[in-house]
């Protein structure tokens, strides 16, 4: 029987808390942007809030990430929250406002990564432990940013693609019904695909981590 590893547990819990928090900010960004652009559907549904309870999806926010972290040992870390209800007919500029509302989610994760890189750099001067928290937060949010921008329904990138090419909602829904399962299977079966995505994420995350460490050592 393998001995209990408290470091693995601590890292797993930390990754999980960062992921849940980042997912909630992601969905809040969708809801807040839609509200500001004229659609109060998400506001009336209680989604213009950072309260995790209003955004958590049992499978996507709790079960799937925990399986990834503790059973798959972080080989593939991802999750999702409850989708934000949006009524695009309430937008003044339907296509552009739909694009802004959709892009707001991934963009919020990019902002978190950049903001944490800067603030975390200064925090490291107070306690070196902030370096670990900073690196993990950047990694999680860059992953969410890039993964969500993949042009595959029902991801945000797929929604943006729908707006750009004028895809019907019926086609979008039909593709969404099987695309995520196909993507997960592809990531595990196609040689180099998951590594390629990992390298892309690293290319964006590493400069932010380097900047943060440089600020901390300045």
Q: Is residue 55 part of a domain?
A: yes
What's the number of CA atoms in the CB half-sphere (13 Å) around residue 111? 9
Q: Is residue 113 part of a domain?
A: yes
Contact 131, 213 (CB under 8 A): yes
Domain range for 194:
6-217
Q: Is residue 48 part of a domain?
A: yes
- Residue among 218, 186, 210 nearest 76 (CA): 186
Name the burial class of residue 36, with classes exposed (0-12), middle (13-18) and buried (19+) by CB atoms within 10 angstroms of its CB: middle
Q: What are the tokens at 103?
A: 């892009």
Rounded mean pLDDT, 195-200: 80
Rounded mean pLDDT, 42-59: 96
Q: Is residue 1 part of a domain?
A: no
Q: Give the three-class secondary structure for 180.
A: helix
Q: Mean pLDDT over all residues of the chain?
A: 90
Buried b (16+ CB within 10 A) or exposed e, 123-157: bbeeeeebbebbbbbbbbbbbbbbbbbeebbbbbb
- CA atoms of 76 and 68, how far apart (whole Å): 6
Q: Is residue 175 part of a domain?
A: yes
- CA atoms of 159 and 149, how far apart (whole Å): 9
Residue 191 is predicted with a pLDDT of: 73
pLDDT tens digits, 6-22:
888 888 899 999 999 99
Q: Is residue 47 part of a domain?
A: yes
Question: Residues with catalytic annotation?
Answer: 27
Q: Is residue 59 part of a domain?
A: yes
Q: What are the tokens at 177?
A: 């019904």
If one counts the domains in the chain, the total is 1
């Amino acid at each position: 029987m393998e001995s209990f590893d408290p470091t693995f547990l601590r890292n797993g819990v930390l990754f999980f808390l960062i992921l849940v928090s980042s997912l909630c900010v992601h969905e809040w960004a969708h809801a807040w942007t839609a509200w500001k652009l004229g659609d109060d559907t998400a506001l009336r549904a209680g989604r213009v809030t950072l309260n995790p309870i209003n955004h958590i999806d049992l499978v996507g926010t709790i079960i799937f990430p925990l399986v990834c972290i503790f059973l798959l040992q972080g080989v593939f870390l991802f999750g999702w929250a409850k989708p934000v209800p949006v009524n695009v007919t309430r937008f003044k500029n339907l296509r552009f406002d739909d694009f802004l509302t959709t892009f707001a989610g991934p963009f919020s994760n990019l902002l978190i990564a950049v903001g944490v890189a800067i603030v975390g750099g200064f925090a490291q001067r107070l306690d070196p432990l902030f370096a670990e928290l900073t690196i993990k937060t950047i990694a999680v949010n860059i992953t969410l940013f890039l993964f969500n921008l993949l042009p595959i329904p029902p991801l945000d990138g797929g929604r943006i693609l729908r707006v750009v090419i004028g895809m019907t909602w019926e086609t979008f829904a039909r593709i969404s019904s099987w695309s995520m399962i196909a993507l997960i299977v592809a990531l595990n079966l196609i040689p180099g695909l998951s590594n390629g995505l990992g390298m892309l994420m690293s290319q964006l995350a590493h400069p932010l981590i380097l900047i943060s460490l440089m600020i901390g050592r300045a």
